[in-house]
Amino acid sequence: MVYTRITAEPFDLELDTDSTALLIIDMQRDFVEPAGFGEMLGNDTSPLQETIEPTRRVLEAARKAGMFVIHTREGHRPDLADCPPAKLTRGGTTFIGEDGPMGRVLVRGEKGHDIVPELAPIEGEPIIDKPGKGSFYATDLDLILQNKGIKTLIVCGVTLEVCVHTTVREANDRGYECVVLSDCTGSYFPEFQEVGLKMIKAQGAIFGWVSDSAAALRVLN
């Protein structure tokens, strides 16, 4: 057990690095890279691209420290059998399963569904393929975390107000303590980024804590 404390808001969080995992949510080409699905929908992907380098530094330090690392991807089977019908009708002009700039949108096996190369998972790092916004819904994430004795999650990924928020809320309800790294998470909408972080740490950490990559690196190095 290695007890330490990460500088965070609304107050510093004590954690044991042996029961802490780094969870990197949906850092997929279609959301993050220019000329992907996100940009095709009219979004500016630059706030998401800015999260890659700090996340890469935290990932590298976590690997060196021997911390458990887990990645998620949002997407569906090629036949879309696992896609809730309501989700198929959302998205504006291009829908899940249709052809996008990097293959069929949010379909497993397509280029756009891949995690960006800078953060590519390595052996021993589970990848959770999830059909929903939350990483716990219809996945084995909780089982994997329980089997590893994980109690605390250091959370990175995109987008803050959608899959990161949903996952942190799900995790919080299951008893995990979540600390979200502000520069390792991004939104297409600056106002959602700002208020999304505030919502997590409001009312004495109602869903979790907010910290940043510098603080995480001090714990990991």
* Binding-residue total with ligand C5J (CB under 6 A): 7
Whether 212 is a known active-site residue: answer no
26 is catalytic: yes
Distance between start and end Cα atoms, the chain? 16
- Residue 52 within binding range of ligand C5J, rule CB under 6 A: no
Is residue 6 involved in binding ligand C5J (CB under 6 A)? no
| 9 or 74: CB nearest ligand C5J | 74
- Write down the least CB distance from residue 149 to ligand C5J, Å: 27
Instruction: Please state, in angstroms and rounded to a whole number, the distance separating the CA atoms of residues 136 and 174.
Output: 10
Q: Which of 9, 30, 39, 74 binds ligand C5J (CB under 6 A)?
A: 74
Q: Out of 21, 23, 26, 183, which residue is the one contacting ligand C5J (CB under 6 A)? A: 26
| Residue 130 annotated as catalytic | yes
| Residue 195 near residue 170, CB atoms below 8 Å | no
CA distances (Å), 130 to each of 65, 109, 173, 180, in order?
27, 13, 18, 20
Give, in degrees to the nearest 5, the angle at Cα 76 between 197 and 36.
Answer: 60
The CA-CA-CA angle for residues 193, 170, 178, to 5°, reads 60
Q: Which of 58, 158, 181, 219 binds ligand C5J (CB under 6 A)?
A: 158
Beta strand 152-158 with 177-186 is parallel
Instruction: Please say which residue, 15 or 105, places its beta carbon nearer to ligand C5J.
Output: 105
Q: Does 184 participate in binding ligand C5J (rule CB under 6 A)?
A: no
Distinct helix (H) and strand (E) counts, the chain: 9, 10
Question: Which residue from 69, 105, 162, 205 is in contact with ligand C5J, where contact means CB under 6 A?
Answer: 162
Q: Which of 163, 179, 180, 215 binds ligand C5J (CB under 6 A)?
A: 163
